[in-house]
Structure 1
Amino acid sequence: MSGFTLVELVIVIVVMAILGGISVSFIKNSVLAYVNSEAYYELADRADISLRRMSRDIRNALPNSVWVPGGSGSYVQFVPIKAGGRYRQDDFDAGRLTLDVLGPMVNVDVGDQLVIYNMGIAGADVYEGNNIRPVVANANTVTFAGALFPFASPGSRFYVVNGAVIYACDLPNRRLLMYSNIAIAAGRVANFNGLAANVVAEDVTECSFTYTEGVMQHSSVVTAQLTLAKNGGVARLVNLINVVNSP
C-alpha cells in the first residue's frame, strides 16, 4: 500500500501556501480598490454638493459685491440679494425717501437694507456704506432712512440685502465653512473670527478661491477649488462661477 512521503507533503504545503498568498494579495488589492472607489465617489458627491450650494449663493450676490482678498485667497465674501425690483424714477429725482415699486410687492424684514447702484468703486460701494440705507416696505413702496442715494440706477433697480456671507477654508480643521449675516464692514475687511459658522464640507485638504474681474455688463468669474480626502480616496473639483456685475 503506497502513500505520501514526508517530502511530498511538505512540497504540497509549501505550494498551497504560495498559492494562498497570491490569492490573498489579489483579494486584498481588489478589496482596497473597491474601498478606494467607494470613498472617491462619496467624496466627489460631497464636494459637488458643496460647490453647487456655494455657486448658487454667489450667483445670487449683489452686483460688484463679490470679493476675494488680493484676487486669490482662502475665502470669498459677498452680499446676497434677499429681494429686488424697480422703482419709479420720478420719486428718486424728486429726492423722496419713499419710492414707488414698479411690480410685485417687496417683503422686507427688520434689519434689512436698501442698495441702489452698487458699482464697487469709491462713492458707490456697499462696503463703504455710501449706497446702503435702512429700509421698510409698505404696500407697493419702499421707504429708507438717512441721506439720499448718491447715484440713480440707470435701470431704476434696487436691491434688499441683510448682511454679508463668507465661504472660508479652514484647512487646519479640514473644513469648508460658511459665515452668514455678517455686518457689512467698511473697506471690505472681513472680520469673521469668533462668529458662528456652518460646516459646508469636511475632510478638506485643499481649498482656494480666485476672483477674475470682468468688464461692466459682462460676467466676472469666481474659481473655487476643493479637494477632499478620506480612507484612501481623493476627490478634486474645480468650479467656475459666473458673476453678473451689471447693477
Structure 2
Amino acid sequence: MALQYAVNKKSARGFTLVEMVTVILILGILVVGVSSFIIFGTRIFVESSSVDQVLSQSRFAVERMTRELRGALPNSVRVNTDSLTYQCIEFVPIQASTTYLSMPIAPSTAAASGTVILDNVASKIAVNQYAWIYPLTDSDVYNSARQKRAQIKTISTSGNQVSLTFTVNSRFAEASPRQRIYFASVPVSYCFEKVSSANELQVRRYVGYNFTAAQPKPSDMGTGVLMAQSVANLLSDSNDLPLTLTPSSLVNNAMVHLQPRFNVNGETFQYRHQVQVINVP
C-alpha cells in the first residue's frame, strides 16, 4: 500500500517553475524569430509592389506620350515651363490626312468648300474637325489669324473624292508643296505638375479644351487625368527638366526629349527617350 501511494504521488506532480520559464523563453525566441521573418517578408513585398506600381505607371505614361507625339500635327508641338509649378507640352493629334484636289488658297477668293481624295485615312474625316494646310509655326496651328485652318460643317462622298464645306468662307494662306491637308479636333497637353503636399511632380493629361493663341496653364484646361506620380525632376533646374523640345527646321523634324526621373523607396530611375515628330507640312 505504501508503494502504491508513493507512485501515485509521483505521477501527480506538474511542471516546475524552472521548466515553465524555460518553455516560455524558448517559445518567445521562436515567436520573435518567426515574426521577424514575416515582417521582413511583408516589407519586401510592400516595397516591391510600390516599385512595380511606379514602374508600370511611368512606362504607360512615357509610352502613351511617345505614341501620341509621333502622330502630332506638323509644328503643333510647343512647351511651356513655369520653374515653380509645372512644365507642359501641347500638341494636336492628327485624326486624318490626305491630298487635296481643290481648296480656297490665296490669292484665290475665300470660299466655303473644297475637295480631297478619299482613302483609308481620309475616311476618318468627320464633321466639326478642323482642316490645316501648310502650318509652318505653332501660331499657324493655334491662332487662326494667318488663315491656316478651317472648321468642317458637312461632308459628302462621291467615288474617290470627298467634298467638304466649312462653317464660314475660308481662304488658306499658303498652298502645300505636296498638297497635304490634315484634320484634327482638339489639342492635347501633358503636364508635369508639382504636388503641393510633397516635393515631387505628377503627370496629368489634358484634353477637351479650346485652341488658344498662347499656350494655356494647367488651371485653364480643366481637370486632367492622372498618368503617373513620384516624378523627381527639378523644374527650377534647366538641366533637369522632364521635357525638352528641339523645333523643326528645313533639314530636321521636330524632336522631343523625354527624360522624366522617378523616385520610389529611395531608388531613382530615369527614362531618356527621343521622339521624332515625323509629319511634315
TM-score normalised by the shorter chain: which range applies? Answer: 0.7 to 0.9
Letter in 2 for 1:142: L
CA contact (8 A) 1:62 1:80 kept: yes
Partner of 1:218: 253
Partner of 1:37: 48
For the residues of structure 1 that align with 2:21 and 2:42, how far apart are their CA atoms? 31
Q: CA deviation at 1:115?
A: 0.8
Q: CA deviation at 1:60?
A: 1.7
Q: Secondary structure at the match of 1:182?
A: coil
TM-score (normalised: structure 2): 0.68
Query: In the TM superposition, what whole-angstrom CA distance separates every residue of 1:8-39 from its partner, at most 9, and x where no partner exists?
Result: 76566445534543443233212211222123
Change (3 A) 1:223 1:103: same
CA contact (8 A) 2:87 2:191 kept: yes
1:169 aligned to which of 164, 174, 192:
192
Partner of 2:4: none
Aligned pairs for 1:85-234 within 5 A: 85-88=98-101, 92=105, 95=108, 97=111, 98-104=113-119, 105-120=122-137, 125-129=140-144, 130=146, 131-136=148-153, 137-139=155-157, 140-144=162-166, 145-172=168-195, 175-186=202-213, 188-201=214-227, 204-206=229-231, 208-215=242-249, 216-223=251-258, 225=260, 227=262, 229=264
Q: CA deviation at 1:156?
A: 0.9
Change (3 A) 1:236 1:116: same
Change (3 A) 1:34 1:95: same
What count of residue pairs does the alignment treat as equivalent? 241
Query: In the TM superposition, what whole-angstrom CA distance separates every residue of 1:169-215 from its partner, at most 9, and x where no partner exists?
Result: 343277432221322211x321442543242335x122633323354
Q: Secondary structure at the match of 2:225?
A: strand
Q: Secondary structure at the match of 1:29?
A: helix
Q: CA deviation at 1:63?
A: 1.1
**Gap regions ≥5 residues in structure 1:** none
**Gap regions ≥5 residues in structure 2:** 1-9, 233-241
Change (3 A) 1:88 1:64: same
Q: CA deviation at 1:6?
A: 5.5
Q: CA deviation at 1:86?
A: 0.8
| Pairing 1:238–2:265 present | no
For the residues of structure 2 that align with 1:70 and 1:35, how far apart are their CA atoms? 35
RMSD across aligned C-alpha pairs, in angstroms?
Answer: 3.6
Q: Secondary structure at the match of 1:114?
A: strand
Change (3 A) 1:127 1:61: same
For the residues of structure 2 that align with 1:191 and 1:75, how far apart are their CA atoms? 8
Q: Secondary structure at the match of 1:134?
A: strand
Change (3 A) 1:55 1:90: closer
Q: Secondary structure at the match of 2:32?
A: helix
Q: CA deviation at 1:160?
A: 1.3
CA contact (8 A) 1:226 1:238 kept: yes
Partner of 1:83: 96
Choose between structure 1 and 2 for higher RCO, CA contacts under 8 A separated by at least 6 residues. 1
Which protein is bigger by CA-based radius of gyration? 2
Q: Percent identity?
A: 25
For the residues of structure 1 that align with 2:218 and 2:82, how far apart are their CA atoms? 19
Q: Secondary structure at the match of 2:172?
A: coil
Q: CA deviation at 1:100?
A: 2.5
For the residues of structure 1 that align with 2:106 and 2:149, how far apart are their CA atoms? 17
1:46 aligned to which of 37, 40, 57:
57
CA contact (8 A) 2:81 2:87 kept: no
TM-score (normalised: structure 1): 0.76
